[in-house]
Chains A and B, each alone.
Chain A
Amino acid sequence: MTRIKRGYIAGKRRRKIRLFTSSFRGAHSRLTRTITQQKIKALVSANRDRDRKKRGFRSLWIHRINAIIGKNKKKQYNRYSNLLYNIYKGQLLLNRKIVAQMGILKGNCLRMIANEIIT
């Protein structure tokens, strides 16, 4: 068999991984074997958190709606659960993202909706 030196084949592969990990902290961006592991962990986390992101935002919107509704109304119906119940009863199709954003940006509109819907 002819003698084959490995040259820079492995180095090319590792350079790409090192570029991906270039902003990581400490040894995680310097040591080759650690770099490979950290890239895998990073990508796995990114995958998993793309689904978590959807859950997180929904939770954020719900908390925001709860806060805004609780502040505005002096009546007893000042909770998120009541607002949502009345939204479904009144056959509105607005989702939580829109309601939360309207509460922040167009507060008047949300007050009008809440007033109109909550019996």
Chain B
Amino acid sequence: MASAAAASLSTICTSFATHCSISHHNPKTPFSHSTFFPFSRSHSLSLSFQPTLSPRLPLPPKSSDTAEALSEPQAPPSDPQSATQLVQSPPLQPPSWEPGLFAVVMVGGRQYIVHPGRWITVQRLKGAKANDKIALHRVLLVGTDTSCYIGRPVVTNAVVYATVEEQGLDDKVIVFKYKKKKKYRRTIGHRQPNTRIRINSIMGYENYPKVTMDDIKDQEDRDS
């Protein structure tokens, strides 16, 4: 890996094209969703949000705690709600992951900071339909409040699971080509196709060597 650094880096930087899509049809149970703010670069966001309440299927091959923790919240909605309770969705426990968990994922040639429960817009994933499950493997960094798993270049075995929500188009951009005094003008409208995916969970990073704030404190004590 170290010997083929330059070559491997260039190949890794090429566009990402693998995703596994298991298309299931989710029965849409009416949970009340809090609004999620997409990540936008260069603007400082307020990070207060509620974890996702969207229904999820237990993932068959992966034995993960989050899948089992989800099976309990699925039970209460089936109880008959009285007509007087309007939008009182049953209180779902947020799936248990570490506080402040995030990952840096590379999709479509671009890198995103990703939190479980939020949605992001990425370049169009070909062949993905709504409600497809997707696994993103190029995870460059996983972090929590206290620790950080730095991928060199990738955190091995880390996967980010997401669901395709919508295949749409960006806002229209008018491409106007103009040469002055030469009577040349062309007007082209362009809408870039994109895909909106909702991040379900970040898994598989536990066995990777991690760095914690304690290491920094120890080193600073040693230095000063």
Residues of chain A touching chain B, judged by Cβ–Cβ distance below 8 Å, are 40, 43-44, 46-47, 50, 57, 60-61, 74-75, 90-95, 97-98, 100-102, 104-106, 108-109, 111-113, 115-117
Q: Which residues of B contact A40 (CB under 8 A)?
A: 176, 178, 185
**A94 B104 Cβ-Cβ under 8 A:** yes
The total of Cβ contacts below 8 Å across the A-B interface reads: 98
Contact with A along B108-129 (1 / 0, CB 8 A): 0001010000000000000000
Interface size class of chain B, counting residues whose CB lies under 8 Å from the partner chain: 35 or more
For B41, give its contact among A57, A92, A109, A113 (CB under 8 Å): A57
Residues of chain B touching chain A, judged by Cβ–Cβ distance below 8 Å, are 1-2, 5, 9, 12-13, 41-42, 44-45, 47, 100, 102, 104, 106, 111, 113, 140-141, 143, 145-148, 150-154, 173-178, 185, 187, 211-213, 215-216, 219, 223-224
**B143 A106 Cβ-Cβ under 8 A:** yes
Q: Which residues of B contact A95 (CB under 8 A)?
A: 111
Interface class of chain A by DSSP: helix
Q: Which residues of A contact B224 (CB under 8 A)?
A: 74
Q: Which residues of A contact B185 (CB under 8 A)?
A: 40
Q: Specify the chain A residue showing the minimal Cβ separation from B102.
A: A106
**A115 B41 Cβ-Cβ under 8 A:** no
Q: 27 A-B pairs, CB-CB below 8 angstroms?
A: A40-B178, A40-B185, A43-B176, A43-B187, A44-B178, A47-B175, A47-B177, A61-B42, A91-B2, A91-B9, A92-B140, A92-B150, A92-B153, A93-B106, A93-B153, A97-B41, A101-B42, A104-B44, A105-B45, A106-B143, A108-B213, A112-B147, A112-B150, A112-B212, A113-B211, A115-B216, A117-B150
